[in-house]
Amino acid sequence: MKRESPHIVYRRHSGEQGWQNLVQCAGLEKPFSKRFVKKASHEKVARKPVGAIPWGFKSLSLRSMKIVSACLAGVKCHWDGKVKPNQLIVNLVKEGNAIPVCPEQLGGLPTPRVPAEQKGKRVITRDGVDVTSFFDSGAQEALKIANLVKCEVAILKARSPSCGHGKIYDGTFSGKLIKGDGVFAKILKQNGIKVISDEELDY
């Protein structure tokens, strides 16, 4: 049986069940001892206490390819041109378990660019330019990549008008959040792909 190391753990948990959840999350076929988990190559991560796996994750294996927001992998695609890598995501990409995509760049937007937020069904820049068509076409192109690699789960940047999951900015550029999904996150969900945000990961 192929053994793979655990990569992802979650906050707020403890106890034996937690260790078993970690092993299941890592795609192993049956529970292994705490000792094995502690010896896994991602030792620092594996040592952390583990508990309830968020919805949708119990059956997911790290053997399936993930889609991740490219900015989380260290690609300079954020609207301000700055790099904001998440080491866990970088590791997933390095190990061949994730593909980075930036739907806004795939839609033809430049970097750096004027920030945009969703306002109703449109996406409007801080300057008042309607960029909805760029966001829509970028999301479609990124979805093509997700389908090509048979992606089951995506780990996306929180609050982004493209990648945000569950909460996005309200369109006033005041920092206020409302319930909602980014354009790309929404289209992934509509196509049966699980989405979580980087803020749900512990690393």
Q: What is the contact surface with ligand SF4 in residues (CB under 6 A)?
A: 69-71, 77-78, 102-104, 157, 160, 162-163
10 Å Cβ neighbour count for 62? 20
- Nearer to ligand SF4 by Cβ, of 77 and 153: the residue is 77
**Number of CB atoms found within 10 A of residue 105's CB:** 21
Strand pairing class (122-125; 116-119): antiparallel
> Measured from the CB atom, is 6 or 107 closer to ligand SF4?
107
Q: CB of residue 37 vs ligand SF4: minimum separation in angstroms?
A: 31
Nearer to ligand SF4, 45 or 77 (CB): 77
Could you tell me the smallest distance in angstroms from the CB atom of residue 180 to ligand SF4? 15
Q: Which is nearer to ligand SF4, 141 or 202 (CB)?
A: 141
Q: How far is the CB of 151 from ligand SF4 (least distance, A)?
A: 15
- Amino acid identity of residue 88, one-letter, is L
Closer residue to ligand SF4, CB minimum distance, 104 or 152 = 104
From the CB of 187, what's the least distance to ligand SF4, in Å? 13
| Calculated CA dihedral for residues 104, 105, 111, 117, nearest 10 degrees | -10
Contacts of 51 (CB under 8 A, 6+ apart): 10, 12, 13, 14, 15, 17, 18, 21
As measured in angstroms, the least distance from the Cβ of 16 to ligand SF4 is 37
Chain centroid, CA 45 distance in Å: 18
